[in-house]
Amino acid sequence: MFKKLLSCSVLGLALAATQVQADKIVFAIGGSPQSLQGQTAQEFTRRLQDRLGDAVQIEYYDSGQLGDERQLVQRLRMGTVDLAAISSIMSSVSPEFALFDLPFLVKDREHLKRIDRDVVMTDLAESAEQKGLKIVSTWENGFRHITNNRRPITSPEDMGGMRIRTPQSEWRTSMFRAWGANPTPMAFSEVFVGLQTGVIDGQENPLTNIYGARFQEVQRYLSLSNHVYSPIWLTAGAGRWNSMPEEIQQAIMEVAADTQDWALTRGAELDEELLESMKSTGMQVNEVNREAFVEASRSIYDTFAGQVPGGAQLVERSLMLADD
């Protein structure tokens, strides 16, 4: 009798825990509220909360309050975070995602949408699921540019010896090493102080991240390179996702898809607005010699094709979508 009562008690606690978990969705990002990542996450949170009403509470955390992206990936797998925005470190989770670390792969945002449809949500999403993660949607981090305190950058030769902060991505570090720089992986939260103190000479990020983190206050030169398009992937832990009611899954996917359109439009608007704002702060702005950088990047494509299973086909399929 005691064992039966204990069994019922344990079952009751488990059901109660499941109910509490179903009553809230914990959503976290590493970016600042001012960045496009932060703006998009807030828009998604607002829309999803409106869609779900009072039945489910969205708990939203930004600025790395629940950890950096590596920690958030672990929290997704453990189920202590339900949704997170994950960017460059996805290539360390599944090597196929390094496709988006290849320089000059994405032509424009329409091209990105086609790659998302035909490559990300098929091949890349499947590879992530094998690592315990569910890719829900692709949002925008943006086209990346280079800032520094030493000189304008027009060709790879201008980067010789520069200490450039990169995300913790082997492909991004390989890229900047191929260009002659001294890549220095560093958490995003540490970059401002690193630039301010001279520990690093420069960094590379989308304009929204540069402006949102106030790097224009501690950087002299902005070189418009568009060298990489960085997506943000709205991601869930596969186990937690599969335990969600179907109607919650459907709501998240539909709101996330609508938010993608919002993010791409907002990203294009911000590129224009923020460039003018940074010029007004006194930053010297120039464009790079794209052909010189493309030529210096060929080894990165060769390495990707040789190291990543199916890498050559992923690149070929993505490039073919440029002019659809």
pLDDT digit string, tens, across residues 164-198: 999 878 888 999 999 999 999 998 889 999 999 99
Task: Assign domain 21-323 to a CATH class.
Answer: alpha beta
% of the chain surpassing 90 pLDDT: 84
Residue 236: alpha-carbon gap to chain centroid: 14
- Flag whether pLDDT at 30 surpasses 60: yes
161: left (phi over 0), alpha (psi -120 to 50) or beta: left
Domains of the chain, residue spans: 21-323
Using CA atoms, how far apart are residues 179 and 160, in angstroms rounded to an integer? 8
Residue 6 confidence (pLDDT): 38
Residue 17 confidence (pLDDT): 37
Residue 224 confidence (pLDDT): 98
Using CA atoms, how far apart are residues 244 and 317, in angstroms rounded to an integer? 33
Contact 233, 169 (CB under 8 A): no
Residues in the chain: 324
* Prediction pTM value: 0.84
Contact 153, 226 (CB under 8 A): no
Confidence tier at 234 by pLDDT (50, 70, 90): very high
Confidence tier at 32 by pLDDT (50, 70, 90): confident
DSSP type of residue 116: I
Beta strands per DSSP E along the chain? 24-28, 57-61, 83-86, 133-148, 163-166, 182-185, 202-206, 221-224, 229-237, 284-287
Confidence tier at 15 by pLDDT (50, 70, 90): very low
- Flag whether pLDDT at 56 surpasses 90: yes
Confidence tier at 65 by pLDDT (50, 70, 90): very high
Using CA atoms, how far apart are residues 204 and 156, in angstroms rounded to an integer? 14
**15 vs 197 pLDDT, higher one:** 197
- Flag whether pLDDT at 259 surpasses 80: yes
Average pLDDT over residues 119-131: 97
- Flag whether pLDDT at 3 surpasses 80: no
Contact 219, 283 (CB under 8 A): yes
Confidence tier at 31 by pLDDT (50, 70, 90): confident
